A and B are shown apart, each in its own frame.
Chain A
Amino acid sequence: MKMAWKEIQKNKARFIILGSIVFLVSFLTLIISGLSNGLSQDNAALIKDLPEGTFYLDEEADETYNLSKIDEELESDIIASYEDASALSIQMGFVNDDDDKQLSVAFVTEKEKQLFPKVKEGEVVLDESLQDNGVEVGDIVTNNQLSEELEVIGFVEQQKFSHAPVAFIHPRNYQEMYRVMEMQMVFIPGTDEVASFSGLEAFSNKDFLNTIPSYNAEQLSLNMIVWFLVVISGMLFGIFFYMMNVQKIGLYGILKAIGVKTSELFKMMWTQMIVITVIALGLSIGLTQIFSVIAPDGMPFHLTLATSVQLGLVFVVIGFIGATLSGLQIRKIQPLQAIQQGEV
């Protein structure tokens, strides 16, 4: 341990280079992870914030929520049988504000009012992001398919769907707007047992997220980048320690000759890897947290400290594996090789 630290102190430049690379890669990974989470929130916060449970869509809707129509009789039966069950619908649309400016929203309505804010007919509760567009409590918004006006009675925090702010409206307003009597889906909270209903297809929250157009593709791409970067950082560790170990074959041989255990040489390498990784990750996690505070409002960036630390632990594990694989050559070094090699 002491020897590992002494080497870092003596060869600062070498370890600073490795640390900088780990810092840059981990910082980039955390930023992309933040964007991935941010986009995920922007796309599906409405669903992600719901308790775990089961969504039911019409079997004939082909896993597309906006084509789904739940038979009214079946819906009533389910709601009568399950106390917490709720029927809801979501449709993309727009409202016009006082200045007749069109604002994209995702209209959400719920019959039983178990999950979302209570709204009466003629009222609307909006996502807080619309406040940036100048909408305030008491304002009147309209929709050209709706005969009556909607009064803004409040805002909710971070409720988005398909990158649009959510507008919670009363079912009768929804039915008038979209000329449809049936609700799109039924949601039953709870994970104990998944009931099955004839003609309905069940989805967990996670499965339902994948029915949102673009959600899956967006998340897959970003997560793939994140994991690629994690693997690259592991390889960087592997390559860097491999190069260092090759340079130190003579030294390791001499240390083995005078009786140093191979396990001590591994401990030396692991200590250096941990020191470098922890410093680099500490810096990148700190900077990412600062970035999450100062990120522009329009940028969907969401990264909790817990997620950063989890990702940091993955980096440590990957770095450990990379360094250990590269260190396997230490086991093969014969003291004699070093003696014959000359000065280290």
Chain B
Amino acid sequence: MAVFEVDQLIKSFKNGEVEEQVLNGIDLRLKEGEITALVGASGSGKSTLLTIAAGLQPASGGEVIFNGKNLTNMKQDDIRKIRAEQFGFIFQSSHLVPFLNVEDQLLLMLDVAGSKLSKKERKNEVARILKLVGMEHRTEAYPASLSGGEKQRIAISRAIIHQPKMLFADEPTASLDSKRSIEVMELIRELTKSLNITTLLVTHEDEMLAYTDKVITMKDGLIEPSA
């Protein structure tokens, strides 16, 4: 059953007098717990599709349905609430808060998601997640002292600690070497499968597709028919 649907999604940008159509009517269904990869050449519209689906920018037309609710006609604050409570994000760069240590990064996410856990339970949850990603020894570390791979592990922890229904990942391995990229993809797969999180990720690295369930290729703002 599809937990997330995109119907006839259109996105256009005004470039001076010219209107450029980036998405030309995309239809997409994501099944619960499935990892879907969006691939395609640069400018094919995959990142635009991901950010609209994640509620980070408005569509010009069409619908984005999550859990039966249409995100495209929701108020900004309602979308924010859904992002905080039910979505998780992993970006190309880790985008950690530079003045918070690893533990505080994750506690912040629990706060933002409106977690009902007690202070002690939150700390325990943070410890559990950090153990899952193999970062339990860096609880007190600040982002500046972490390696690229470590930062991305913390970003993954932040994205899933509140147990979201959806995970959006925009080229999560782009800033890592191939060894670290594989580690990160393995981790994403392991965690999303164990927590039954539906994942939509954008990647341009073919090696990473082995860790996904479904691959969607985009070209000129449209989904290419599968081979």
Please list the residues of chain A having a beta carbon within 8 angstroms of any beta carbon in chain B: 2-3, 6-7, 9-11, 250-251, 254-261, 334-336, 338-339, 342-344
**A6–chain B nearest beta-carbon distance, Å:** 5
Given A257-B56, A335-B56; A10-B99 close (CB under 8 Å): yes
| Residue from B93, B98, B158, B170 within 8 A of A10 (CB atoms) | B98
Q: Is the interface of A mostly helix, strand, loop or mixed?
A: helix
A343 CA / B77 CA spacing, docked (Å): 26
A259 touches B85 (CB 8 A): yes
A105 nearest CB across to chain B (Å): 64
A258 pairs with B98, CB closer than 8 A: no
Q: How far is the CB of B139 from chain A (nearest CB, A)?
A: 15
Cβ-based interface call for B11 (8 A): no
Chain A minimum-CB-distance residue to B91? A339
Residues of B within 8 A of A250 (CB): 95
Cα A39 to Cα B80 in complex, Å, equals 58
Pairwise interchain contact A261-B100, C-beta atoms closer than 8 A: no
Least CB separation from B86: chain A residue: A259
Q: Is A10 in contact with B142, judged by CB distance below 8 angstroms? A: yes
Given contacts A258-B112, A334-B57, A251 and B83 within 8 Å (CB-CB): no
List, in ascending order, chain A residues with CB within 8 A of B109's CB.
Answer: 258
Q: Chain B residues near A259: list those with CB within 8 A.
A: 80-81, 83-85, 87, 112-113
Beta-carbon contact of A339 and B95 below 8 Å: yes
Other A-B contacts than A6-B100, A336-B57, A343-B94, 18 sampled, CB-CB below 8 A, are A3-B99, A3-B108, A10-B98, A254-B91, A255-B97, A256-B80, A257-B89, A258-B83, A258-B84, A259-B112, A260-B84, A334-B56, A339-B91, A342-B92, A342-B93, A343-B93, A344-B93, A344-B95
For residue A260, which residues in chain B have a CB less than 8 angstroms away from its CB?
84, 112
**How extensive is the interface on chain B, given as a class?**
20 to 34
CB neighbours (8 Å) of A336 from chain B are: 51, 56-57
B104 within 8 A of A: yes
**Among the interface residues A6, A255, A335, A343, which one has the most CB atoms of the partner chain B within 10 A?**
A343
B99 partner residues in chain A, CB cutoff 8 A: 3, 6-7, 9-11
Q: Are A251 and B97 in contact (CB under 8 A)?
A: yes
Q: Which residue of B lies closest to A255 (CB)?
A: B97
Query: What 9 pairs across the A-B complex have the smallest Cβ distances?
Result: A259-B84, A10-B99, A343-B93, A254-B95, A7-B99, A259-B83, A259-B112, A335-B56, A336-B56
Which of A257, A258, A260, A338 neighbours the largest number of chain B CB atoms within 10 Å of its CB? A258
Is the pair B83, A257 in contact by a Cβ cutoff of 8 Å?
A: yes
**Separation of A334 and B113 alpha carbons in the complex (Å):** 19
The 8 A CB mask of B82-124 against A (1 = contact, 0 = none) is 0111010101111101111000100011001100000000000
Evaluate contact between B95 and A343: CB separation under 8 angstroms: yes
C-alpha gap A251/B94 in the complex (Å): 11
Residues of A within 8 A of B77 (CB): 261
Pair A261/B80 contact, Cβ less than 8 Å: yes
Across-interface contacts of B113 in A (CB, < 8 A)? 259
- In contact, A339 and B98 (Cβ under 8 angstroms): no
Interface centre among B57, B83, B97, B108 (most CB of A within 10 A): B97
For B141-165 the 0/1 string (1 means CB < 8 A from A) is 0100000000000000010000000
| 9 chain-A/chain-B pairs, Cβ below 8 angstroms | A9-B99, A256-B80, A258-B109, A259-B112, A260-B112, A261-B77, A335-B56, A343-B94, A344-B93
For A335, the closest partner residue in chain B by CB is: B56
A259 vs B142: C-alpha distance in the bound complex, in angstroms? 22
How far apart are the CA atoms of A19 and B141 in the complex, in Å? 27
Counting chain A CB atoms within 10 Å of each CB, the highest count among B89, B93, B95, B170 belongs to B95
Given A3-B108, A6-B99, verify A258-B93 contact (CB < 8 Å): no
Contacts of B104 in A (CB 8 A): 2, 6
Taking the closest CB of chain B, its distance from the CB of A162, in whole angstroms, is 57
Tell me if A251 and B91 are in contact (CB < 8 A). Answer: no
Q: Smallest CB-CB separation from A253: which chain B residue?
A: B95
